[in-house]
């Protein structure tokens, strides 16, 4: 199962470098745009925007 990262709703973009050690990949940046979920094309890490409860 791929790692999931929760992101604050006001964050518009994230970056991923694959990990905290030498097993990572080149840093890549992703913009959420109108989506609330991003998947890193290198390592499959999932970025989920926190949902605002109304």
Stretch that binds Zn ion, among 1-9, 29-37, 43-51 (CB under 5 A): 43-51
Work out whether 38 is an interface residue with Zn ion (CB under 5 A).
no
Work out whether 42 is an interface residue with Zn ion (CB under 5 A).
yes
CB of 53 to Zn ion, least distance (A): 29
Distance, CA of 43 to CA of 9 (rounded, Å): 23
Work out whether 18 is an interface residue with Zn ion (CB under 5 A).
yes
Residues that bind Zn ion (CB under 5 A): 16, 18, 40, 42-43, 45
């Amino acid at each position: 199962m791929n790692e999931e990262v929760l992101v604050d709703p006001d964050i518009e973009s994230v970056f991923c470098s694959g990990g905290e050690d030498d097993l990572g990949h080149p840093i890549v940046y992703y913009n959420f745009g109108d989506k609330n979920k991003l998947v890193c094309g290198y390592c499959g890490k999932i970025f989920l925007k926190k949902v605002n409860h109304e």
